[in-house]
Amino acid sequence: METLPLTAVIEDQRQEIASLKQQNAELTAKVEWFMEQFKLAKHHQFGASSERTISPEQQPSLFNEAEKEAGSDHAEPTLGTITYKRRKQKGHREAMLENLPVETIEYSLSPEEQVCPKCEGPLHEMSTEVRQELKVIPAQVKVVKHIRHIYSCRRCEREETSTPVVTAPAPSPMIPGSLASPSAVAYVMNSKYVDGLPLYRQEQQWSRLGVELSRQTMANWGVKSADNWLEPLYERLREHLLKRDILQADETALQVLREEGREAESKSCMWLFRTGRDGPPIVLFDYKTTRAGKHPKKFLSGFKGYLQVDGYSGYDMLADVTLVGCWAHARRKFDEALRVLPAEKRLSPSVTLEGLDFCNQLFAIERDLNKATPEERYKVRLERSRPVLDAFAAWLQEQSQRVLPQSLLGQAIRYCQNQCGKLEGFLLDGRLEIDNNRSERSIKPFVIGRKAWLFSNTPKGARASAVVYSIVETAKENGLIPFEYLKCLFEKLPDLNHESIDELMPWSPSLPDSCRMVKNTSAQPQE
C-alpha cells in the first residue's frame, strides 16, 4: 500500500483545519444572527416600545438614590412654591370643566327647619359649600318621524282640469327606505373608525339600547354612505392634496377576504398620503390589492415636489418627485441592534452606540429648531447638520468593512448607505422634516383598529373604510370632533350641490361651532 509523503499529509490536514475553521465561523455567525432575531422578536413582543436612548449618567439606580440625591444643591420648597403648585392643579381642573354644561342642584333648609338646635332662635345663611362632579348621560335612541304635509288648491280642483300639488320641503333621506339617520350613521362610523369598536360589538350595544340592529345593516349603511356622500368629499380633498409641494406617505398590510382571483389569506395594502407641516392638514387612505409601486404612482399623478417616505423602493417609480428619507427609520435600526446586546454592554462604548449617537445629534439639532422659521431652519441645518452627516458617511464607510453584513448592526449600516441620498434630503428645504413620523402617527389609528376588526370582507368595504378613515383623521387633524363633523356632513350633503362642497372642507370657517373641539384658553398661573 502506497503511503503519502509526510508533507502531503500535513498539507491535507492544514486544508481540512482551514475548512473547519471557515465552517465554524459561518455557523457561529448564523447562530449570532438567529440569536439577534430571537432577542429582537422577544423585545417586540414584551419590551417597551420607546426608542429613547439612556446614557450612563441617566441610568437609574435602585439602591443609591438617597446617597446620590443627598448631595444635590436643590433648595427645600418654600410655602410659596407649595401654594403655586396647588393653584396650578386647581386651574387645570377649572380649565377642563369651563366649557361643559352645568347642572346646579341646591340644598337648603325650609323656613321651618331654619331654627337653632340650641336656643331655637332663627338661623341665617352664613356661607355655601360647593362640590363638583362629572355626570355622564349614556347614549339614547329615539324615533324621529318626518311628516311632510301635502297641499292642493280647492279652486283648481273645482274649475281646472289639473290641480297643482305642493309638498312642504323636508331634508332628503340619507338612504331612501332605511332607518339610517345622519346621527345614527355618524355614531356607527365614529364607534368603528375612531373608537375601534367592531360591528359585532356595536350590534350588542344597540341591542342593550332596545334596537335589534344587525351588523350587516350597519355595514350596508357604512358602504352606501361612504359611496354616496363621502366619496365626493374624499376626491375634493385629494385635489387639494396634489396641489401641495410637500407630502408624506406610508403603507401597511390589510386582509380582504373576498378579492376576485385571490385567496382569502392574501395580503392587500392600505396606503396613506398626507400633507406636511404647512397648511391645513389632509390625511388620505387608499386601498389597493398589492404593495406595488404603481399604486402610489397612480394616486399621486400630477404631484410635483418632495415626498417623505421610508426606505421602501416602490416609491422610486414616481416621476417629478424628490424622495426624502426618514431618520427615525435609520435610528430605529441602530436601536434594534443595541437592544439585542447583553444588558451589561448596552451602555458601554460600542460601534452600535456610535451609530446611534450620530442619529441623536441630528434629532437634537431639530429639537433646537422646533420654533424656527423655514428660512432659519434651512440655514442652521447647513451649518450644524451638514458636518454631522459628512462625519456619519465616513464612519459608515469605515465600519462597513468591519461589521458582519447580516448582523443587525450590519443591516443598519447598509440601510443608511443605501438611503444616503434620501436621508440627506431634509437639508433641501426648511419646511421638510427629519423623519416620516407624521405619517406613521396618522396610519396608527388604522393599525390599532385593524387589531379589533381584523379584516375587511370585500374590496368595496375596504374602499369604504379607506374613505371614512380619511375623513375622520383629516377632521381630527383640523381640530374637529369626528362624530359631529360626520353628522354635519350627512345632514348637508344630500341636499348640497357639488360646486358648494368646499363649504364642508374640514378647515372651512362656515362649519358650525358644534363640530369644533373646544380649546382651553385659561391663563396659566405664573410663578
Instruction: Encode pLDDT of 236-249 as tens digits.
Output: 999 999 999 999 99
Give pLDDT, residue 500: 87
Residues of the chain with pLDDT under 70: 1-4, 25-90, 342-348, 453-455, 519-527
Instruction: Encode pLDDT of 28-51 as tens digits.
Output: 666 665 665 565 565 555 555 555
Tell me phi and psi for residue 271, to 5 degrees. Answer: -95, 150
- CA dist 273 and 239 (Å) reads 12
C-alpha separations of 65 from 56, 61, 369 in Å: 15, 6, 35
C-alpha cell at 410: 450590519
CA 396 to chain centre: 32
- Please identify which residue in the block is written with the cell numbers 363638583: 132
Tell me phi and psi for residue 352, to 5 degrees. Answer: -60, -45
- DSSP secondary structure string for all residues of 360-425: HHHHHHHHHTTT--HHHHHHHIIIIIHHHHHHHHHHHHHHHTTS-TTSHHHHHHHHHHHTHHHHGG
pTM, two decimals, is 0.79
